Structure 1
Amino acid sequence: MRTLRPQRSSRRDRQPRRHSPLKALLLSAGMGFVLVAGIGVIGDRISRAHNTVKASTPAPGDTAPARFTGVPSPTGTEAVPFPDRRRTRALLAALREIDPALAHRRSVGRALSSCQDLGSGMDRSRVTERVRLRFDGTARVGPRRAERILTAIEKTLCPS
């Protein structure tokens, strides 16, 4: 009697399939093309973004934008000129004597608005209250301190 043995699969005996060198070359070339095209698209986007930023940034030799030449008056009266460095330093030093928390760059714009209020003929008590509201936050500003701030602004910044 014959015993039946399981037959061996012919696949087990075979070596793994190898791709032809031509296929490998074509696959590598295709992947390289996709990679280079992707880099080119990303580079174009970066270049466009750079050109947009460059076009919107003023050149170093350009003068300051018009908004820094002074604070326009909403009532049509004379504009308060933007202070030079000497006046700005004097204002910040005077504010630092009142409270060191008041001596920052935002205080210059707030002081210019206060000068504008004074120049428009607004009542001094109303201007003092507006100074208190403008400068309160970084430092505790009450009515007395607001009066001291307004006096410092008048002495250093407001045109005579």
Structure 2
Amino acid sequence: MRTLRRQRSPRRDRQPKRHSPLKALLLSAGMGFVLVAGIGVIGDRISRAHNAVRASTPAPSATTLTGPAGVPSPTGPLTVPSPGRRETRALLAALREIDPALDRRRSIGRALNSCRDLMSGMDRARVTARVRLRFDDTAPIGARQADRILTAIEDTFCSS
């Protein structure tokens, strides 16, 4: 019996092509340059878009305040109080007398917001209710305590 022998392909016996290390280095450097250039172009476009948005958006004014509900007050913009260390210590001492749990740095921002409400011409009863809501998570605040807190805020932060 005769066996059939398969012929081998000439490519099968050939060794794979090897690239020189210089070619690999140049290829890697080229790909790296293309990648960095692409990132630079994308970053530049993002930066230009960001600058365009910033230029078209009006800057918020930290020194003025409008009336209730964003309506400009008839007397013009209000100045936001900027308490110093003395006023801050006086407020924290007054809050500590009302309830020791209120003696926190977080109370300063809440007091400033309450002062802004007062300066905007908001009704005192409404401001007192808002003070109660603002300070209630720190300590349980009643209506009487909220009124005392508002008086302390008026005496320290809103005195000018």
TM range (shorter): 0.5 to 0.7
Are residues 145 and 113 of structure 1, via their aligned partners in 2, closer, same or farther at CA, if it must alter by over 3 Å? same
Are residues 71 and 14 of structure 1, via their aligned partners in 2, closer, same or farther at CA, if it must alter by over 3 Å? closer
Which of 35, 42, 47 is residue 45 of structure 1 equivalent to?
Answer: 42
Counterpart-to-counterpart distance in 2, 1:38 and 1:150: 60
Runs (5+) with no aligned partner, structure 1: 57-64
Structure 1 equivalent of residue 113 of structure 2: 110
Structure 2 equivalent of residue 144 of structure 1: 144
Deviations along 1:21-75, one digit per CA (max 9) or x if unpaired, are 59x94x875565344212211133335546747x96xxxxxxxx77322433343
Counterpart-to-counterpart distance in 1, 2:114 and 2:125: 16
Counterpart-to-counterpart distance in 2, 1:10 and 1:121: 96
Structure 2 equivalent of residue 72 of structure 1: 66
Counterpart-to-counterpart distance in 2, 1:14 and 1:121: 90
Contact 1:110–1:134 (CA<8 Å) still a contact in 2?
no
Structure 2 equivalent of residue 7 of structure 1: 5
State percent identity of aligned pairs: 31
Contact 1:71–1:112 (CA<8 Å) still a contact in 2?
no
Report the 3-state secondary structure (helix = DSSP H, G, I; strand = E; otherwise coil) of the residue aligned with 2:9: helix
Counterpart-to-counterpart distance in 2, 1:16 and 1:101: 84
Q: Which has the greater radius of gyration? A: 1
Return the offset for 1:11. Answer: 3.3
> Normalised by the size of structure 1, how large is the TM-score?
0.61
Report the 3-state secondary structure (helix = DSSP H, G, I; strand = E; otherwise coil) of the residue aligned with 1:106: helix
Return the offset for 1:4. Answer: 0.9
RMSD of Structure 2 on Structure 1 (CA) = 3.9
